[in-house]
A and B are shown apart, each in its own frame.
Chain A
Amino acid sequence: MGLFDKLAGWLGLKKEVNVLCLGLDNSGKTTIINKLKPSNAQTQDIVPTIGFSIEKFKTSSLSFTVFDMSGQGRYRNLWEHYYKEGQAIIFVIDSADKLRMVVAKEELDTLLNHPDIKHRRVPILFFANKMDVRDALSSVKVSQLLCLENIKDKPWHICATDALKGEGLQEGVDWLQDQIKTMRT
């Protein structure tokens, strides 16, 4: 990290990072983003996102701009138009929806094979969400079902989370922050 960056850090000017938040509908993308925002900016009721929404939150050293994409089938073709801008990807999975794990895998494979993503070292953070649901799959099982071990050319990390309580989110964001910092230097 250069001297200027340190200086900027001291002055409270933080680096801007664009992050894409993807995942199937009802997986908890908006809830996760909502939890990451400062508590006074959080909303109480989460409704299905239409199209996408832009949210901002800050960590110790970075300022995140999150494109919270809608996961509904008819809006999923919007995702690829934002791949270019994304410097990192958050992929949220509903661990309790075993039936649609194949759909999540299909969307992930489409994402990874997209020309805007394929040849870039974009860090991907997976949130195996809804761990509070009784028969939810473990994060290991989710990574197995999504064949995450096949992702060789990008840094990735999977966290078991419960977005309603906010458990596991911080761990994931810390990892993402470290990755972005190492990318810069």
Chain B
Amino acid sequence: MSVGEASTDGGKWLDAHYDPVAGLHTFSSCVALADLSGDGDSRLVLGDLGSAGSGMKLKVYRGTVLTNESSLLDLPAGLVSFFMDLHEPRIPAVAVASGPCIYVYKNLRPYFKFTLPGLEINTLEQDVWRQVREGQIDPSTLKEMLESLRTSDVPLSARSLHLLSLDVEQAEQFVHLHKQQPIRRQTVITCMGTLKKSTADEDGVSCLVIGTESSHVFILDPEAFIILTKMELPAPPTRMDVTGQFDVEFRITVACRNGNIYILRRESDRPKYCIELSSHAVGLVRVGKNVVVGCTDESLQGFTQKGKKLWRTVLPAPITTMAAMDLPTRGFQGVLVGVASCEVLLFRHKNLLSSVRMPDAVSSICFGRYGREDGTLIMTTKGGGLMVKILKRTAAFEDRDGAPGPPQAQSIRLNVPKKTKLYVDQTLRERESAPAMHRAFMMDLSRLRLAAAKAMVKVLECSLTPVSSGVGQPLKINAVVQGLGPAFKLTLNVQNTAACRPVMDLAISFQYDQSLYRVRTPFLRIPLLVPGIIYPLETFVDCTSDKGVSDIIKVFVLHGGRSAPLLTAHINMPVSEGLTLN
């Protein structure tokens, strides 16, 4: 199914708002919808990445207007809204992950900052920095030693790595500036998700789940902000999806930078299942119990939660972003895929349901309850625009190429007659004496093979075939009959198939029913046969009967001094259609 077939429908969406110059630069992982004031009016919370590493902001929209804005210290890697306590009124907190920290906002005010624990520092690295601090070595030696450490695959701290990137004069300054402070090695957060603590309620308390550059996944307690669980992955995670409850059972699906997807479960701190993708994942969305993954090879793939591949569909352009479209009131679940060809495609399973044309490529998609409207689609574009669309109440999505399952024709009942007694008896007999029947069949098959082999041997012994492969004279003959009758032209093509030896002293004679045919030259001498060349020998056959019957003419290739023919060819003569001459 191509995209061209699917109507680009504005028919299902109402254009609620479009601000092409909203100046929003963000990704789907940094967009959330949350009822921040607890009045049933959902707000849009965005972590704006700003431009060129500055102007990072946390922005809150209500309806069509920006109501709140606060600066962020670092580029946001993820933004989620979650309930961190059971206090009334139920107001969710907003967590923004940037660098090694998570900033938690309550009522849009900074509330808590969580920093990931530092990583272990290599003792050698510590040692060389101590030496430089005590003046035992100079900065250039330090740099050399750090370089050798790095080449031996030791993970270095950010400060050492920065030093290695500087040239000599800058390095000296840098060392003097920093040598007094102890070195720390910090990891950074790459992705974040939420996991309900103990209840599946909409407003249940949630834990934060974070993936780090050091290939770990941490689950944080929402109230005390302590690490509840630490899990390890083979590669740094880039995207994550979390489902379940922390106290009951949960699954964390993580797309990693090595191109694999790992599925973590409650009881183990190692991945339980692994999906090896053919190309890197750019989007990971859960639909019901399945996981839909968008890949860099312009494909969308569906997997079960145990990592079994269900389907794969090819997209018209590279994927820019993905989001889930979940509409529980209508029992609808789908996946929204933003593609580089300025479109947003809606898929249910592998079927394309509709596509929305956009004025610009989409950089983030968020679907959910915004304001008081449940089915709101919020998109930001590459150029910084903000677009809000509302799903029509009457919009219905239908799969255009049939739902998975048997085709329609299969359910039509055929008029099959009832099973006869004979049939039933036969099936019973087959069931009871299957081994005997099999044996009998195998015996007959062997006999048939034996008979065929015997016949073959006889044919070869009597040279009844038109091809002779004997050691003496390997020959081949074929015959062509031309004409309508009663006179036929018979052309015999004789070929010596030997590699280099010519054949001499051959002749051809015919055997036929003399009451039907007369061969003008019943005996032909064959000249010397040079290997490989086809010699056509012609003779004429007259049909002497006017009964309209035909017969076989046998052709023998004979060798001087031998009684058995070398070859035999049977020519099925056609019925003479002309008048007989005599």
**Which residue from chain B places its CB closest to the CB of A26 in the assembled complex?**
B372
Please pick, from B63, B374, B390, the residue contacting A102 in the complex, using a CB distance under 8 A: B390
Which B residues are CB-close (under 8 A) to A73?
Answer: 329, 373-374, 393
Please tell me if A103 contacts chain B, counting CB pairs below 8 Å.
yes
Please tell me if B440 contacts chain A, counting CB pairs below 8 Å.
no
Please tell me if B371 contacts chain A, counting CB pairs below 8 Å.
yes
**Assuming the A-B contacts A98-B63, A135-B65, are A103 and B374 also in contact, with contact meaning beta carbons closer than 8 angstroms in the complex?**
no
Q: Main secondary structure on chain A at its contact with chain B?
A: helix
Which A residues are CB-close (under 8 A) to B390?
Answer: 99-100, 102-103
**Cβ A102 vs Cβ B371 within 8 A:** no
Mask for B375-409, Cβ within 8 A of A = 1, else 0?
00000000000001010111000000000000000
> Which residues between 39 and 79 of chain A lie within 8 Å of chain B, taking CB atoms?
73-74, 76-77
Interface size, A (range): 10 to 19
**Assuming the A-B contacts A25-B372, A73-B374, are A99 and B329 also in contact, with contact meaning beta carbons closer than 8 angstroms in the complex?**
no
Please tell me if B14 contacts chain A, counting CB pairs below 8 Å.
yes
Please tell me if A174 contacts chain B, counting CB pairs below 8 Å.
no
Please tell me if B64 contacts chain A, counting CB pairs below 8 Å.
yes
C-alpha gap A107/B393 in the complex (Å): 9
- Distance (whole angstroms) from the CB of B393 to the closest CB of chain A: 6
Please tell me if A110 contacts chain B, counting CB pairs below 8 Å.
yes
Mask for A28-39, Cβ within 8 A of B = 1, else 0?
000000000000
Mask for B319-330, Cβ within 8 A of A = 1, else 0?
000000000010
Please tell me if A16 contacts chain B, counting CB pairs below 8 Å.
no
**Cβ B372 vs Cβ A98 within 8 A:** no
C-alpha gap A102/B388 in the complex (Å): 11
Please tell me if A97 contacts chain B, counting CB pairs below 8 Å.
yes
**Cβ A100 vs Cβ B65 within 8 A:** no
**Cβ B393 vs Cβ A76 within 8 A:** yes
**Cβ A99 vs Cβ B373 within 8 A:** yes
**Assuming the A-B contacts A73-B329, A135-B65, are A102 and B394 also in contact, with contact meaning beta carbons closer than 8 angstroms in the complex?**
no
C-alpha gap A97/B17 in the complex (Å): 12
**Cβ A100 vs Cβ B372 within 8 A:** yes
Mask for A110-146, Cβ within 8 A of B = 1, else 0?
1000000000000000000000000100000000000
Which A residues are CB-close (under 8 A) to B372?
Answer: 24-26, 97, 100
Please pick, from A26, A97, A107, the residue contacting B63 in the complex, using a CB distance under 8 A: A97
Mask for B153-189, Cβ within 8 A of A = 1, else 0?
0000000000000000000000000000000000000
Most interface-central of A102, A106, A107 (chain B CB within 10 A):
A102
**Cβ A103 vs Cβ B14 within 8 A:** yes
- Distance (whole angstroms) from the CB of B215 to the closest CB of chain A: 42
**Cβ B16 vs Cβ A99 within 8 A:** yes
Please pick, from B15, B16, B329, B392, the residue contacting A100 in the complex, using a CB distance under 8 A: B16
C-alpha gap A122/B522 in the complex (Å): 110
**Cβ A100 vs Cβ B394 within 8 A:** no
**Cβ B394 vs Cβ A103 within 8 A:** no
Partner-B contacts on A (CB < 8 A): 24-26, 73-74, 76-77, 97-103, 106-107, 110, 135
- 18 residue pairs of the A-B complex, CB under 8 angstroms, read A24-B372, A25-B372, A73-B329, A73-B374, A77-B393, A97-B63, A98-B63, A98-B64, A99-B63, A99-B373, A99-B388, A100-B371, A100-B372, A102-B390, A103-B373, A103-B393, A107-B393, A110-B394
